[in-house]
Structure 1
């Protein structure tokens, strides 16, 4: 089945909660994703099986600083659809959305096992960065 992608696509909180739980290995939480991304994000991308209201196959959130920096967060693809290029396509559409908003930089941080995905499949490059664990 074909996948459709939509920048700032419509979704329901429970479907993102279930997808996030599956992708990140935790119980499904009751997070108000719609309100959260509408208040704090530049945009997001929904990947769906088929056209329109098909089942949610992937999701990525794009936060930003209100200026030229955007940040990829919560990239997740349904287990049944992994290995099909959906994650890379989600990130590519996130980059398009950030570029259209006149952002100059798209940032991402990730665990080591995702280096190949973000560097090879998505085209990010390594940079010097800092982090404080809170």
Structure 2
């Protein structure tokens, strides 16, 4: 896990709650859960407040608690940023466009494959149904 530390001037301006939140975010989800359990053990309203805060801020359901550091690691953010080299940016844009086209073509292929499978299953169902109707009609006539 990469940790991004705040400058000293920013840390000094943050309140105790913000500093505690940043510290727990740096430690990960396990630290939040441990703090909540300890809160329940020592004074149950603190544990309940931590649980409510974790659910409200969606920390309970994220794969990582530190949203601030994950934003800079986001692939979407990094692919849209210019590198400063016009030739490389043109190459990157063309490559991303080509990959998007390939993805669309592959998804269209998968859709055609699913449609063909659905049609084959439906045709098999209709053939089985016609066969059972024919057998019932033949047994009724006999």
TM range (shorter): under 0.3
The structure with more radius of gyration: 2
Q: Which has the higher contact order (CA 8 A, sep 6+)?
A: 1
Hey, which of these two has a bigger chunk of helix by percent? 2
Hey, which of these two has a bigger chunk of strand by percent? 1
